[in-house]
Amino acid sequence: MSAARPYASILAVLALGAVLPLVTSSNILLNGMVVTLIVALAGYGWNLLGGYGGQFSFGHAAFFGTGAYACALLQQHYGLNAWVAFGAAVALGAAVGGGIGYLSFRSGLRGSYFALVTLAFAEVFRIVVNASPFFNGAAGVLLKLDTRPGNLQFASRASYCELAVVLVGIALVATRAVERSRFGAYLVAVRENENSARALGVDTFKVKLKAISLSAALTAAAGAFYVQYFLLINPELGFGTSVSIQALLAPIIGGLGTVFGPLVGAIALHELGEFAQGLLGGLPGADMALFGLSLILVIAFARGGVLSLVQALRWRVPGKPIEARP
């Protein structure tokens, strides 16, 4: 088997994503695409830790917000170049992930306890940022409009789209690479049975720490990109619970612990949100209610998410051989 084959489908999807912004000039479509890709990217972060590692975080907003605020403030307070700030924001996100992971995993937190503690961290971040003048409190941070590629700001939405495709592409490739590595095998082993993993020589603490750092880095990148696109971040947009929920919904609805799950889930969520908007107008919270409903449906009828449904349908097509693996 050639080494490139596992990446062929990823390249195909990315090529499609890269072509899309070139063939449309609809701002609504392009905007929808950017927003969807941001959710997907945040979801890729969550998927590494939750989908592959089985550690369900309820507080990925902590990383998203860290990425967004770090990227914005490093430019505004310290005059850093936007690209440099972006890189630093990702690194800081990884560090925050490592810190939260160290504290939670060292004390042996698992399952709902881990979920609650991550939720608590995100909430503490939100409250602190909301109250602190350094972060400009509830008003949030506005980035100065200065559209230059060197400043990581673009005049055209299509350019943002292309950059988002690149970022999601990195997440896709990273996910596939993890899947095919020893670290990935250990991560899945930790998800399936920590005791057995330890018996086979897996340092489960180290594996989880590595996973949460990588996970946080990806989600922080989503946050940093968000602020470059909207030029605005505030405590609710950065650290709000709905950010954490979207980061976990995308992979769960798309397909937990799969390479394309978060992307498929983010697209499904976006379409669902549009649908809610059309159906119920501006009714606040309508999209969240619909997200909740879809989550219930996925958990009740399609544990493997949309991707598993697609696969099941494919198997029913007559004439196609049924694969041995479920």
User: Is residue 256 within the footprint of another protein (CB under 8 A)?
Assistant: no
Specify the pairing of strand 141-142 against strand 232-233. antiparallel
Give the nearest distance from C-beta 43 to another protein in angstroms.
21
Give the nearest distance from C-beta 198 to another protein in angstroms.
4
User: Is residue 182 within the footprint of another protein (CB under 8 A)?
Assistant: yes
User: Is residue 203 within the footprint of another protein (CB under 8 A)?
Assistant: yes
Give the nearest distance from C-beta 100 to another protein in angstroms.
22
Pick the binder of another protein from 113, 193, 296, 299 (CB under 8 A): 193
User: Is residue 22 within the footprint of another protein (CB under 8 A)?
Assistant: no
User: Is residue 202 within the footprint of another protein (CB under 8 A)?
Assistant: yes
Whichever of 192 and 271 has its CB closer to another protein, that residue is: 192
Pick the binder of another protein from 64, 186, 225, 226 (CB under 8 A): 186
Instruction: Tell me how many residues contact another protein (CB under 8 A).
Output: 22
Whichever of 189 and 214 has its CB closer to another protein, that residue is: 189
Are 93 and 219 in contact by the 8 Å Cβ rule? The answer is yes
Name residue, tokens 């990273």: 174
Task: Give φ, ψ of 192 to 5 degrees.
Answer: -75, -40
Residue 239's nearest CA partner among 121, 92, 143 is 121
Buried b / exposed e along 300-309 (16+ C-beta atoms within 10 A): eebebbbbbe
User: Is residue 131 within the footprint of another protein (CB under 8 A)?
Assistant: no
Query: What is the distance between the alpha carbons of residues 123 and 236, in angstroms, rounded to a whole number?
Result: 10
User: Is residue 300 within the footprint of another protein (CB under 8 A)?
Assistant: no
Query: What is the distance between the alpha carbons of residues 227 and 74, in angstroms, rounded to a whole number?
Result: 12
Give the nearest distance from C-beta 52 to another protein in angstroms.
12
Give the nearest distance from C-beta 232 to another protein in angstroms.
42
Pick the binder of another protein from 108, 133, 150, 201 (CB under 8 A): 201
Residue 55's nearest CA partner among 260, 263, 194 is 194
Query: What is the distance between the alpha carbons of residues 228 and 245, in angstroms, rounded to a whole number?
Result: 22
Are 176 and 7 in contact by the 8 Å Cβ rule? The answer is yes
Task: Give φ, ψ of 200 to 5 degrees.
Answer: -95, 10
Pick the binder of another protein from 198, 230, 310, 311 (CB under 8 A): 198
Pick the binder of another protein from 181, 275, 285, 312 (CB under 8 A): 181
Window of 19-27, 78-86, 138-146, 179-187 that interacts with another protein by CB under 8 A: 179-187
Report the half-sphere exposure of 300 (CA within 13 A, side-chain side).
6
The torsion defined by the Cα of 45, 51, 57 and 58, in degrees rounded to 10, comes to 90
User: Is residue 159 within the footprint of another protein (CB under 8 A)?
Assistant: no
Give the nearest distance from C-beta 204 to another protein in angstroms.
7
In angstroms, what CA-CA distances link 96 with 55, 211, 216?
16, 13, 7
Whichever of 112 and 193 has its CB closer to another protein, that residue is: 193
Whichever of 182 and 314 has its CB closer to another protein, that residue is: 182
Residue 41's nearest CA partner among 215, 238, 240 is 215
Helix (H) or strand (E) run with residue 142 in it: strand 141-142
User: Is residue 320 within the footprint of another protein (CB under 8 A)?
Assistant: no
Window of 14-22, 60-68, 199-207, 288-296 that interacts with another protein by CB under 8 A: 199-207
Pick the binder of another protein from 24, 130, 204, 241 (CB under 8 A): 204
Residue ranges that bind another protein, judged by CB under 8 A = 180-182, 185-186, 188-189, 192-193, 195-204, 324-326
